[in-house]
């Protein structure tokens, strides 16, 4: 038993990179995988970055857990690499390996397991917003003990419209009923961005200013509402501790 535990601990936490953020944000603070790596808080030797667009995705027995990043791609585009990722995601979940999907990754998990993803019927959701945890979090190993309400960073235009079977909704807000879910026992999806900080959210509002205005948001108000989101950020370390 001790040898099996040791072998598992020697396997990496795998970050599945599914795209790039805006160039100006990369220049200032790195890319999606860098944000996630910093949030995890493990040495680089314990983290493996896999590019879903070009790399071979690892077998379940090669990892001890995985995080699927956000992306500027759309799940509904059914790109070849994304369809491969969906197949891999289902295999990981079927093998009960710990998995966390962030925004696009959250949507990939839902679609891979039979849910429906599409553009949100209202508009994009962007900025620092509050989410509400549901009573289901009381027995959830990732969310238990967190406050009933806390702030998160959000920037997305697609959502999980219909949940797959065997899914528990963990968090919501007025805009998005599926802010956090658990699929089965070991897979979680969050529509928000626990890896993002205030600078990232400010950068997304600036880069998407035309979309923000067309969605009838007031940019100055969004900028004023930006703040750090420590409870959201804690989910990355919580996920690693859970593994």
Give me the catalytic one of 153, 156, 178, 193: 193
Mean pLDDT of the chain: 95
Confidence of residue 5 (pLDDT cuts 50, 70, 90): very low
pLDDT at 207: 97
Please, what's the b/e burial string for 153-162 (b: 16 or more CB within 10 A of its CB; e: otherwise)?
Answer: bbbbebbbbe
User: Is 195 tagged catalytic?
Assistant: yes
Question: For the chain, what is the domain count?
Answer: 1
Give me the catalytic one of 33, 86, 176, 195: 195
- 3-state secondary structure at position 121: coil
pLDDT at 155: 96
**Domain carrying residue 184:** 2-242
What is the C-alpha separation between 118 and 54, in angstroms, rounded? Answer: 25
**Could you report the per-residue pLDDT of 80-130, keeping only the tens digit for each?**
999 999 999 999 999 999 999 999 999 999 999 999 999 998 889 999 999
**Could you report the per-residue pLDDT of 157-201, keeping only the tens digit for each?**
999 999 999 999 999 999 999 999 999 999 999 999 999 999 999
pLDDT at 9: 61
pLDDT at 114: 97
Confidence of residue 10 (pLDDT cuts 50, 70, 90): confident
**Could you report the per-residue pLDDT of 42-83, keeping only the tens digit for each?**
999 999 999 999 999 999 999 999 999 999 999 999 999 999
Provide the token pair at 129: 């917003």
Choice between 163 and 3, residue whose per-residue pLDDT is larger: 163
What is the maximal distance between C-alpha atoms in the chain? 58
User: Is 193 tagged catalytic?
Assistant: yes
CATH at residue 185 = 3.40.50.880
Give me the catalytic one of 33, 86, 103, 156: 103
Measured from the Cβ of residue 185, the count of other Cβ atoms closer than 10 Å reads 11
User: Is 59 tagged catalytic?
Assistant: no
């Amino acid at each position: 038993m001790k040898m099996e535990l040791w072998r598992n601990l020697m396997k990496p936490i795998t970050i599945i990179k599914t795209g790039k953020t805006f160039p100006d944000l990369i220049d200032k603070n790195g890319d999606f995988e860098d944000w996630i790596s910093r949030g995890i808080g493990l040495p680089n030797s314990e983290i493996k970055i896999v590019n879903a667009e070009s790399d071979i995705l690892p077998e379940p027995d090669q990892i001890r857990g995985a995080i699927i990043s956000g992306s500027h791609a759309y799940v509904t585009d059914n790109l070849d690499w994304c369809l491969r990722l969906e197949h891999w995601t289902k295999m990981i979940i079927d093998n009960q390996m710990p998995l966390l999907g962030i925004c696009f990754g959250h949507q990939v998990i839902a679609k891979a397991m039979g849910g429906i993803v599409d553009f949100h019927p209202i508009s994009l959701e962007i900025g620092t917003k509050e989410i509400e945890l549901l009573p289901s979090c009381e027995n959830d190993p990732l969310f238990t003990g967190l406050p009933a309400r806390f702030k998160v960073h959000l920037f997305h235009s697609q959502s999980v419209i219909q949940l797959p079977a065997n899914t528990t909704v963990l968090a919501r807000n007025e805009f998005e009923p599926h802010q956090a879910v658990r699929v089965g026992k070991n897979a979680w999806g969050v529509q928000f961005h626990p890896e993002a900080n205030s600078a990232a959210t400010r950068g997304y509002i600036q880069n998407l200013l035309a979309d923000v205005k067309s969605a009838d948001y007031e940019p100055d108000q969004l900028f004023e509402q930006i703040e750090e989101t420590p409870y959201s950020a804690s989910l990355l370390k919580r996920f690693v501790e859970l593994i």
